[in-house]
């Protein structure tokens, strides 16, 4: 159990320990696409994926892709006004954010860092004077507010040169994370959901990132069609054996506009019931490494974005239920972890 008494090693708690305050992700769509989508970014891809590449909800209001600086400015204003945020990660979130030559990636990442500095400097000057003093004070963000960079990608769109590029930002003092979508450790499932990579690609990418000194996050989807309880726990075990620094669990959601939405309408797939999740997640957490930072336990979609057969748990309710399940077992994250 961690010092706060939780049986789960929460990422948010770790960030507070490292920086003394909460750190907020600013989701960015930098115009990347996916290796197996068409050039318009709307067709092809994984069967579960949203047409918009799962960009943050507060970035979905524009019909066209705004410049990166405008996206960052909007995200800064939203998080500072609503949450009083003072520390941030730039999160390259939408689609596959290493899907370009290294020179292009460096230009985009550098542009975002510089855009953050400009947007931070303008935020109070442009908005502060018209706001009540207590609200305006939230917009005063210090010059060291940018703590790190997160790059979401696929295992088959990552190599040693891209790992070396990301390592350069870590050398500049940024907390540098690379997020890999594994989803399942079973190759037949990966073929069924049209991931277009296998589990070995994930292992290779994780090793490259580790050798470059990067922090790594693994995405896992629980409840994919055709997978048993034991298969899902095995996926967690495979991720744990890479000693991944972070994990994001997602419960399987049928996203409107996805290929699985069409399969659902044809009666070809079903959805995991939310009441199965607390026990399943507890089983997965027990086999994780005890120091892996748990970033989420469930998917994050607005209600209108999914076809929900059953009302999903609120994320805070689900976290409480998982903690209670671990307490009932007198167990904790990492209790059954072992290197295979």
Ranges of H-type helices in 63-212: 68-83, 102-127, 133-137, 160-171, 187-192, 199-211
Q: Which residue has the higher pLDDT, 18 or 127?
A: 18
- pTM for the whole structure: 0.91
* HSE-CB of 9 using CA atoms within 13 angstroms: 16
Q: Is the pLDDT at 6 greater than 80, yes or no?
A: yes
Fill in the DSSP letter of residue 37.
Answer: B
Q: Which residue has the higher pLDDT, 141 or 175?
A: 175
Q: Is the pLDDT at 201 greater than 60, yes or no?
A: yes
Q: For residue 191, count other CB atoms closer than 10 A to its CB.
A: 12
pLDDT at 44: 63
CA distances from 251 to 34, 191, 224, 300, 324 (A): 22, 19, 8, 9, 19
Residue 92 pairs in a beta bridge with 28, 151
Q: How far apart are alpha carbons 54 and 258 in whole angstroms?
A: 11
Q: Is the pLDDT at 3 greater than 50, yes or no?
A: no
Residue labelled with tokens 């500095």 = 117
Average pLDDT, the chain: 90
Task: Average the pLDDT over 324-335 and give the result.
Answer: 97
CA distances from 101 to 11, 104, 162, 177, 308 (A): 31, 5, 9, 19, 39
Q: For residue 270, count other CB atoms closer than 10 A to its CB.
A: 12
Task: Average the pLDDT over 187-193 and give the result.
Answer: 94
What top-level class would CATH report for the domain 11-328?
alpha beta
pLDDT at 112: 97
What is the Cα 15 distance to its own chain's centre?
15
pLDDT at 35: 81
Return the sign of the alpha-carbon dihedral for residues 293, 297, 303, 307.
positive
């Amino acid at each position: 159990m961690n010092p706060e008494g939780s049986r789960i090693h929460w990422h948010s708690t770790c960030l507070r320990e490292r920086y003394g305050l909460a750190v907020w992700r600013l989701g960015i769509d930098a115009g990347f696409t996916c290796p197996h989508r068409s050039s318009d970014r709307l067709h092809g891809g994984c069967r579960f994926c949203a047409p918009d590449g799962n960009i943050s909800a507060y970035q979905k209001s524009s019909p066209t892709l705004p410049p990166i600086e405008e996206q960052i400015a909007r995200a800064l204003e939203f998080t500072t006004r609503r949450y009083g945020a003072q520390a941030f990660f730039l999160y390259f979130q939408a689609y596959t954010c290493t899907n370009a030559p290294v020179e292009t990636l460096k230009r985009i990442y550098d542009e975002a860092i510089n855009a953050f500095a400009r947007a931070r400097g303008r935020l109070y000057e442009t908005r502060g004077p018209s706001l009540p003093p207590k609200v305006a004070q939230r917009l005063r963000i210090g010059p060291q507010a940018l703590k790190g960079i997160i790059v979401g990608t696929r295992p088959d769109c990552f190599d040693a040169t891209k790992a070396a590029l990301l390592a350069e930002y870590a050398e500049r003092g940024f907390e540098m994370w690379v997020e890999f979508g594994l989803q399942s450790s079973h190759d037949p499932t990966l073929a069924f959901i049209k991931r277009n990579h296998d589990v070995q690609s994930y292992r290779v990418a994780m090793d490259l990132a580790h050798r470059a000194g990067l922090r790594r996050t693994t995405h896992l989807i629980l409840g994919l069609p055709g997978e048993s309880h034991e298969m899902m726990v095995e996926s967690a075990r495979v991720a744990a054996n890479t000693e991944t620094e972070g994990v994001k669990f997602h419960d399987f959601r049928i996203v409107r506009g996805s290929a699985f939405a069409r399969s659902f309408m044809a009666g070809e797939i079903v959805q995991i019931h939310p009441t199965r999740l607390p026990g399943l997640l507890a089983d997965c957490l027990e086999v994780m490494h005890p120091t892996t930072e748990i970033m989420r336990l469930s998917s994050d979609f607005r209600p209108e974005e999914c076809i929900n057969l059953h009302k999903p748990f609120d994320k805070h309710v689900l976290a409480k239920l998982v903690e209670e399940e671990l307490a009932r077992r007198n167990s904790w994250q990492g209790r059954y972890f072992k290197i295979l």
